[in-house]
Structure 1
Amino acid sequence: MATDIKDSAHPVEAAAVMRLLPARPRLLALGEPTHGEDALLELRNELFRQLVEEQGYRTIAIESDCLKGLIVDDYVTHGTGTLDDVMERGFSHTWFNASAPNRELVRWMRAYNDDRPAPERLRFAGFDGPLEMTGAASPREALTALHDHLSARVDADLLPCTAGTLDRLLGADERWTQPAAMTDPSRSVGRSAEAGELRLFADDLVALLDERTPELIAVASRDAWHRARLYGRTAVGLLRYHHWMADTSPARMTRLVGLRAQMMARNLLALTERGPALAHAHNGHLQRHRSTMRMSGVPVHWWSAGAIASAHLGERYAFLATALGTLPHQGVGTPPPDTVEGLLYALTDDRGVVDARRLATALGATPPAPRESPWFGYSPLDPAHLADSDGIVFVKDVPRPERP
């Protein structure tokens, strides 16, 4: 068995990854078992460069706010703004904008795009919704941007409402963003009369955008149309999310986590319309099997963005789960030898990618023991679902990130 596993391990390179797959995927998903580790982000950067140079990939999407990601995309494609400003405003989590590897990724993409024609330029995207564990953003930005796009290009009589009507119904953004609504449904405005009207207007605006697709692409550009569709998806998704934040039934949390996954999946699927893309996020957002967690002692089950995207794309979706050996600065020591991580730790020198299905076959019908992490921020592999991945990227020892 050890020989089989060692023989199936290869360097983490684009060519080795492609050999694991029946064809080049439209969406290659690279997971990570924890956030904020420079070594994992540097590996992602190296793989993306190789995918660009050897496999024709042009887009990278990360687990960050899809609207903020437009700031980064404008910089890497057109040089809009400065690198410092983009790193400050273009990411939704502090471990992203403070990350040296993320900064290097953005800098490299801008340099790569310099003087290249538009069809050859690299694109950046956030694919998460404008959501946090403590709540959700106001739908104002997405909804008004969609309305502005349409009002500048179609007859005003076709619009379901005016910009003033939207502003009146939206009210103050603080009504939508108060953290108390996450745990107290009565504090949410998601089922108010105004929110109900906004959902109808958002639906009509998205329908109008779709209906006028040929005209809108002709008078503006396909890129502008893609951006307007993103605004539409986000506005509809946020209004639906706020609606369920106001729910008092036992299904509330299941719907909320499922809606976030759906928003992620729709953003990823839209990106694949432009060409092959690399997605990078937590393993849990990209896995094919059903997700589960306990919230306030109650089990919650949902399908992740990766599971939804895989169902749509079939073999055009591929998932590489990342596992690690040690994370000493977080108290994660050498994995027990009877776990998957323990087996890989004993058989790899530094890092490598392993054929996940071949690994599952080599381990036999009885899977190894699940690893338990002493730190909540690291999620070990689930040995019962190895074959649901196309490959396992294993990093033996993760050093402490360097921070200025």
Structure 2
Amino acid sequence: MATDITDTVHALEAAAVLELLPARPRVLALGEPTHGEDSLLEPRNELFRQLVERHGYRVIAIESDCLRGLVVDDYVTSGTGTLDDVMERGFSHGFGASAANRALVRWMRAHNDGRPASERIRFAGIDGPLEITAAASPRQALTALHSHLAARLDTALLPCTAGTLDRLLGVDDAWTDPAAMLDPARSVGRSAEARELRVLADDLVALLQERAPDLLTPGSREDQDRARRYGRTATGLLRYHFWMADPTPSRLTRLLGVRDTMMADNLLAVAEWGPTLVFAHNSHLQRHRSSVRMGGAPLAWWSAGALVSARLGAEYAFFATALGTMRHQGVDAPPPDTLEGLLYSLPQDPCLIDAPRLATALAATPPTPRVSPWFGYAPLDPAHLSAHHGIVFLKDVPQL
């Protein structure tokens, strides 16, 4: 006899999401099981709109370059630039080409138009300037941090000149060489210059912290936030490049861990602006350890969500997204004995699932893990069901 799970199912709306939680969390995270599908982003947009308009959320963050995100934030808060330019320059990973992301930015700008600063919603990217095949040069972040300090403090306090940074950074192509991802010997991350840059970056960040009272003037808080973001990015990138040059078997695990630590630090920082909504891959936002196979080897690391949850406790909530079919990628109807197969049999679409209650209902007959025929889609692991606050389920994901 099939397990009755009807009492775990709710309508997909903001009020139902918050009813599954003891209180409104400071950070409410929504994950996705794959990238590049606007069919998953459209319900995200509606859910986030409701949470902003009805429940006081003030920040929307996504898995995109934290420095590029400054372009988007300037546009949605003050109208700087044009929508076309913002979508081209304000996103990484190709996310600017998404019609749903464009609709989100357009709505955020319209929402803010005419509102006082205290009521505007903000945008942020939480990822580092990283792509799958390469990492950015630390030049932008380091030079921006140095310029911020040099313009406001006695230059004798700075650990180096702009010229010294430029000399040590060298040519950016050496930092961004895609071959370095597969061959650590091609990375410059452990060169004498890179090691010196790590020390200087640390000193610049320390100076920013030590002189915070000198730097905090009326109207300067936004500049200070940006300077701290430059500092986090500079030190994170230099650490990432250091591990790109590592020849040992722990190299890939450390790279994954450094990236999610950068995400966690950025997410914690933007959460200081106000109640925050964040959207990224499930593997980055889940509260348990993340894992993947790369080059045939299993890798495991703590996700950004796990790191933020360790800091915020009950003020961090995570809702995973699961799907039934994505036929244009070869993902057909899930087997009925899997978690997705069980949810696929429900009449509601889309729907919200009370994950802890579902885990309890299925404890006697645990679902079989689903296996994806396509590498770009990661099914949910039923063993970690109780670690999610809820599941957003969509039966069929069409190609838009």
Same fold flag (TM > 0.5): yes
| Deviation (angstroms), 1:35 | 1.0
Alignment match, 1:66: 66
| Deviation (angstroms), 1:251 | 1.2
Confirm or deny: 8 A CA contact 1:348 1:396 kept in the other structure: no
Alignment match, 1:9: 9
Task: Give me the whole-angstrom Cα distance separating, in 2, the residues matched to 1:348 and 1:302.
Answer: 37
Percent identity reads 73
Query: What whole-Å deviation, never above 9, does each CA across 1:118-158 have from its counterpart, x for those lacking one?
Result: 11111111101101111100000000001111111111111
Alignment match, 1:51: 51
Alignment match, 2:28: 28
Alignment match, 1:79: 79
| Deviation (angstroms), 1:208 | 0.8
Q: What SS is found at the alignment partner of 1:61?
A: strand
Confirm or deny: 8 A CA contact 1:61 1:280 kept in the other structure: yes
Task: Give me the whole-angstrom Cα distance separating, in 2, the residues matched to 1:42 and 1:368.
Answer: 29
Q: Which 5+ residue runs of structure 2 have no aligned equivalent?
A: none
Alignment match, 1:41: 41
Letter of the 1:65 partner, please give it.
D
Confirm or deny: 8 A CA contact 2:3 2:361 kept in the other structure: no
Whether 1:126 and 2:125 are equivalent positions in the alignment is yes
Q: What SS is found at the alignment partner of 2:216?
A: helix
Confirm or deny: 8 A CA contact 2:93 2:131 kept in the other structure: no
Alignment match, 1:304: 303
Query: What whole-Å deviation, never above 9, does each CA across 1:274-310 have from its counterpart, x for those lacking one?
Result: 1111110111111111111122122211001111111
Task: Give me the whole-angstrom Cα distance separating, in 1, the residues matched to 2:155 and 2:293.
Answer: 49
| Deviation (angstroms), 1:333 | 1.4
| Deviation (angstroms), 1:3 | 7.2
Alignment match, 1:157: 156
Query: What whole-Å deviation, never above 9, does each CA across 1:223-246 have from its counterpart, x for those lacking one?
Result: 111111000000000001111111
Confirm or deny: 8 A CA contact 1:2 1:347 kept in the other structure: no
Confirm or deny: 8 A CA contact 1:360 1:386 kept in the other structure: yes
Letter of the 1:83 partner, please give it.
L
| Deviation (angstroms), 1:4 | 4.7
After TM superposition, where is structure 1 displaced by more than 6 Å over at least 4 residues in a row?
A: none
Q: Which 5+ residue runs of structure 1 have no aligned equivalent?
A: none
**Matches for 1:81-160 after TM superposition, within 5 Å:** 81-94=81-94, 96-160=95-159
Q: What SS is found at the alignment partner of 2:21?
A: coil
| Deviation (angstroms), 1:37 | 1.3
Alignment match, 2:394: 395
| Deviation (angstroms), 1:349 | 2.3
Task: Give me the whole-angstrom Cα distance separating, in 2, the residues matched to 1:143 and 1:54.
Answer: 40
Query: What whole-Å deviation, never above 9, does each CA across 1:246-294 have from its counterpart, x for those lacking one?
Result: 1111211111110001000100111111111111011111111111112
Count of residues in correspondence between the two structures: 400
| Deviation (angstroms), 1:399 | 1.6
Moved more, 59-68 or 292-301: 292-301
Task: Give me the whole-angstrom Cα distance separating, in 2, the residues matched to 1:329 and 1:296.
Answer: 26
Task: Give me the whole-angstrom Cα distance separating, in 2, the residues matched to 1:2 and 1:220.
Answer: 61
Task: Give me the whole-angstrom Cα distance separating, in 2, the residues matched to 1:297 and 1:275.
Answer: 42
Letter of the 1:9 partner, please give it.
V
Task: Give me the whole-angstrom Cα distance separating, in 2, the residues matched to 1:115 and 1:162.
Answer: 42
CA RMSD of aligned residues (A): 1.2
Task: Give me the whole-angstrom Cα distance separating, in 1, the residues matched to 2:349 and 2:115.
Answer: 36
**Matches for 1:285-304 after TM superposition, within 5 Å:** 285-304=284-303
Letter of the 1:289 partner, please give it.
H
Letter of the 1:34 partner, please give it.
T
Moved more, 362-371 or 70-79: 362-371
Confirm or deny: 8 A CA contact 2:216 2:224 kept in the other structure: yes
TM-score, normalization by structure 2: 0.98
Task: Give me the whole-angstrom Cα distance separating, in 2, the residues matched to 1:217 and 1:309.
Answer: 27
Q: What SS is found at the alignment partner of 1:337?
A: coil
Letter of the 1:84 partner, please give it.
D
